[in-house]
Amino acid sequence: MTLVEYGDYFYLYVLAIALIPAIIMGLFEKKIKYYGIFLSILMIMAIMGIGKIFPLFLLFEITLIKTYSVLRKKTDNKYLYFLVLLCSMLPVVIFKISAVTIERSIGFIGLSYMNFKAIQMVIEIYDETIKEVSILKTLYFFLFFPTLISGPIDRSRRFESDLDKNISRNEYVNEYLYYGIKCIIRGIVYKFIIASIINSIWMSKIPTHITFINSMNYMYSYSLYLFFDFAGYTAFAVGTSYILGIRMPENFNKPFISKDMKEFWTRWHISLSKWFGDYIYSRFVLNSMRNKRFKSRFVASHVGQLLTMLIMGAWHDLKWYYIIYGLYQGLALVGTDIYQRKSKFYKNHKKEKWFQYAQIVITFHIACFGLLIFSGYLYNK
């Protein structure tokens, strides 16, 4: 029998028992990381089973990262960097292509999120923000089970700084343990109560026959369900991480009160949007400006937004509605930027309360329509 991460109360029961030694170690001011590695291995085996693909992935990526960290000290050759970066991406590329070309995709749950870690480390080794690569710490960074399936997406340097920190008993109890339990309770309320109610009495009752009314109904229900389900998962992941001594970053911050789509992406799936912003958007725009690829930085920014969101859509899957979802989000960001820069009406009223409330309502519907596209409901099978 395999466990489903944060999927039911049985998993939470197993998790509660598994975290007891970590809590005891925290109370006695002992390092939790070695138990964390041991527990992560056990939990991953319980979630995934015993297979060959996952160990091979780990061996491949960690060997690649460690080898490149050694080579980077000797050369900054861009072609070597691009080759290593391409190799680090291969697992997720193969997984995404196989998902649409053969009946059973080649991969494992959580592969995409783990691949983000590998790509991030290769880029930062090239940038020389990562000077040394510890195999043990990198292994734990990849294996850390609370964020296995859907993040949040952590950064290796931040993760390792938590590993090296000495946590006092008082700090562990009042910050780590308290906040961890608080997050887990929030996860139970969000995922197992609110999301479950929305699904059982609302979303699942909507006919699959596509009409305007059914589509609008599904748009609202799915958007709310996805938020509470995903934010609930994130709360479990963050709470478990804190109890294990890792201050995992939050992934949601009241996204449906955003005043525009740029703000929405600073509140929704925060770790994913920051990852794409740092490693795709910012680098594309800076490179474009450096090479004078576009006439203005605004054009470079708009092309970067479209490109970033298209890649994000394709990352979710290569189905057409994910691609359209990415294009839609890119256009929404470009449209927001143009409107805010050029509209006198916006500039004259943006600080007024009534206008801010109107922005929240409009942004909510723009975001929800994007999630309707993302859901695949409009895809008439």
Q: Which residues are catalytic?
A: 316
Q: Is 263 exposed, middle or buried (0-12, 13-18, 19+ CB in 10 A)?
A: middle
Q: Computed over its alpha carbons, how large is the radius of gyration of the chain?
A: 22
| Burial class of residue 217, CB neighbours in 10 A (0-12, 13-18, 19+) | middle
The stretches of 73-211 forming alpha helices (DSSP H) are 78-101, 111-127, 135-143, 156-163, 169-171, 178-187, 196-201
Polymer length in residues for the chain: 381
* Helix, strand, or coil (residue 319): coil
Name, in order, each residue with C-beta under 8 angstroms of 54's C-beta and a sequence gap of 6 or more: 44, 48, 108
In degrees rounded to 5, what are phi and psi of residue 96?
Answer: -70, -40
Distance CA 371, CA 274 (A): 19
**Six token digits for residue 125:** 């080794």
| DSSP conformation class of 304 | H
**Which tokens is 11 given?**
């998993």
Q: Look-up: residue for tokens 């979710």? A: 316
Q: What share of the chain is helix, strand, coil (3-state, %, to 5)?
A: 75, 0, 25
- Of 136, 188, 157, 181, nearest to 31 (Cα)? 136
Q: Which of 179, 175, 144, 174 is nearest to 159 (CA)?
A: 144
